[in-house]
Amino acid sequence: MNSKRTPLDLVRAEPGPAYTATFDGAQIAVLPGQTVAAALWSAGVTAWRTTRRTGEPRGVFCGIGVCFDCLVTVNGLPNQRACLVRAEPGDDIRTQHGTGHEHVAGEEEL
């Protein structure tokens, strides 16, 4: 017998119905309890941050909140670790560029 087992099968989990969030303006499906990183991976997104100096793409590295490669902006809050933040219905998830504190033209610098 060649049946594939998934973690959901092993724990007999039955997740509730999916809801939506957005990533850079596009809708993505999210299952209850998923982290932002899991939701993005499920949607086929593997990078959601760029480095400060060279603009290199980053996504999940450690997956347990130790490193900061998975930083993302959620609902306007930069520097959220996608592997730790639970995705909620209607979340506005954005790629984080650099430090996440982009200077907006016309705003006074602090």
Q: Is 34 helix (H, G, I), strand (E, B) or coil?
A: coil
Domains, in order of start, for the chain: 15-97 (3.10.20.440)
The DSSP 8-state label assigned to residue 86 in this structure reads: B
Model pTM above 0.85: no
- 75 vs 80: CA distance, rounded Å: 10
Tens digit of pLDDT for each residue in 8-44?
676 766 778 999 999 999 999 999 999 999 999 999 9
Please name the helix (run of DSSP H) or strand (run of DSSP E) that holds residue 93, with its range, or none.
Answer: strand 92-94
Of all residues in the chain, what percent carry a pLDDT higher than 70? 84
pLDDT at 2: 55
